[in-house]
């Protein structure tokens, strides 16, 4: 369904953005920046902002983390416009999408171990490039197997709103990638594409650590006949060692008693230039200023 809204000047497609945290721990400054960036870009464009909990990987999810993230967002004054969806409840939709790809003859089972793959692979943009062993010699599905998608040499190009032109050839840059793991868990790349389409997302604003995943997602969108959203990849927050802030690097949770300061820090990190007095106001005056003055051109590339 396509939604159009009439404003005084022209007819603009409705902007639908989202924040899609993985509930592996509480919100930290790195995820706060992605939340603030996606929220402000949506609100600046008078769009909708959705929240999706990416708990497809049940082994990584931490009990209570999703609730905690949502409550932190609420207390920071970030309201989502539609019901939150949980990937853990969407297996049927992922299964259907996999079937569509399977009917195109692009899915094959693979029984290679990690070691076998790393021993016989060259390293691509996101780890070893699968050498195609089980494509050449079809594997028995009686054994535990992952499902891979066959890639090709076409150039996948897209224009990131912030980072500009991007191109990948999946076969040589990434290789045939996994869509379902041996334990039956659907891969992030498939789940994110199915959900962005199901939620009619028009703009994906997220951390630049996912820039290299975007061509894989566009490839799947093309095969599944989904619209391709616009992408804007924000700078990633790193620690003193240059590592991305994450639960693994022991990032400190957002401290709600200090909410305004942290929101202002996130704005500064995104290159925005709020007046110093913003700290004398409250969360509501903060958002009022930030929504009106959001400027993508100021974000450091």
- Contact map string, positions 125 to 154, toward ligand GLU, x by CB under 6 A: ------------------------------
Stretch that binds ligand GLU, among 18-26, 119-127, 219-227, 254-262 (CB under 6 A): 18-26
Count other C-beta atoms under 10 Å from residue 144's C-beta.
11
Sole binder of ligand GLU in the list 15, 16, 17, 20 (CB under 6 A):
20
- Contact map string, positions 178 to 197, toward ligand GLU, x by CB under 6 A: --------------x-----
Rounded-to-10 torsion of CA 156, 160, 164, 170:
-20
Asked if 246 and 229 touch (Cβ cutoff 8 Å), the reply is: no
Sole binder of ligand GLU in the list 21, 26, 109, 124 (CB under 6 A):
21
The distance of closest approach from Cβ of residue 200 to ligand GLU in the complex, given in angstroms and rounded to an integer, is: 15
Distance CA 69, CA 72 (A): 5
* Pair of tokens at residue 107: 């899915």
Stretch that binds ligand GLU, among 19-27, 70-78, 167-175, 265-273 (CB under 6 A): 19-27
Residues in region 48-77 near ligand GLU by CB under 6 A: 54
The distance of closest approach from Cβ of residue 210 to ligand GLU in the complex, given in angstroms and rounded to an integer, is: 5
**Residue 202 touching ligand GLU (CB under 6 A):** no
30 or 124, CB closer to ligand GLU? 30
In degrees, rounded to 5, the angle at the alpha carbon of residue 72 between the alpha carbons of residues 71 and 78 is 95
Could you tell me the CA-to-CA distances from 205 to 39, 146, 161, 187 in Å, in that order? Answer: 9, 30, 9, 20
* Pair of tokens at residue 132: 């195609």
Element (H, E) at 6: strand 4-6
22 or 262, CB closer to ligand GLU? 22
At 261 the three-state DSSP class reads helix
* Pair of tokens at residue 128: 């070893």
Phi, then psi, of 253 in degrees rounded to 5: -65, 150
40 or 112, CB closer to ligand GLU? 40
252 Ramachandran zone, left/alpha/beta (phi>0; psi -120 to 50): beta
The distance of closest approach from Cβ of residue 152 to ligand GLU in the complex, given in angstroms and rounded to an integer, is: 23
Sole binder of ligand GLU in the list 15, 22, 73, 269 (CB under 6 A):
22
Could you tell me the end-to-end alpha-carbon distance of the chain, in angstroms, rounded to an integer?
34
**Residue 210 touching ligand GLU (CB under 6 A):** yes
110 or 178, CB closer to ligand GLU? 178
173 or 209, CB closer to ligand GLU? 209
- Residues in contact with ligand GLU by CB under 6 A are 20-22, 54, 192, 206, 210
């Amino acid at each position: 369904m396509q939604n159009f809204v009439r404003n005084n000047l022209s007819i603009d497609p409705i902007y639908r953005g989202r924040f899609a945290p993985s509930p592996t721990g509480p919100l930290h400054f790195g995820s706060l920046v992605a939340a603030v960036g996606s929220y402000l870009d949506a609100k600046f464009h008078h769009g909708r902002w959705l929240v999706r909990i990416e708990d497809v990987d049940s082994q990584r999810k931490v009990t209570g983390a999703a609730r905690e993230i949502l409550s932190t967002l609420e207390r920071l004054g970030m309201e989502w416009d539609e019901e939150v969806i949980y990937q853990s409840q969407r297996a049927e939709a992922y299964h259907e999408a996999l079937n569509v790809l399977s009917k195109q003859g692009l899915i094959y089972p693979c029984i290679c171990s990690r070691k076998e793959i790393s021993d016989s692979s060259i390293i691509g943009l996101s780890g070893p490039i699968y050498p195609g062993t089980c494509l050449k010699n079809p594997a028995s599905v009686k054994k535990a197997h992952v499902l891979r998608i066959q890639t090709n040499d076409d150039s996948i190009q897209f224009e990131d709103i912030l980072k500009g032109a991007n191109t990948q050839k999946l076969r040589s840059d990434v290789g045939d990638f996994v869509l379902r793991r041996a334990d039956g868990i659907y891969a992030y790349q498939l789940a994110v594409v199915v959900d962005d389409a199901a939620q009619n997302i028009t703009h994906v604003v997220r951390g630049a650590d996912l820039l290299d995943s975007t061509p894989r997602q566009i490839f799947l969108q093309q095969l599944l006949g989904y619209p391709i959203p616009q992408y804007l990849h924000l700078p990633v927050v790193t620690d003193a060692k240059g590592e991305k802030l994450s639960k693994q690097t022991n990032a400190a949770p957002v401290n709600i008693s200090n909410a305004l300061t942290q929101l202002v820090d996130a704005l500064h990190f995104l290159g925005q230039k709020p007046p110093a007095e913003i700290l004398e106001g409250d969360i509501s005056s903060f958002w009022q200023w930030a929504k009106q003055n959001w400027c993508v051109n100021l974000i450091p590339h």
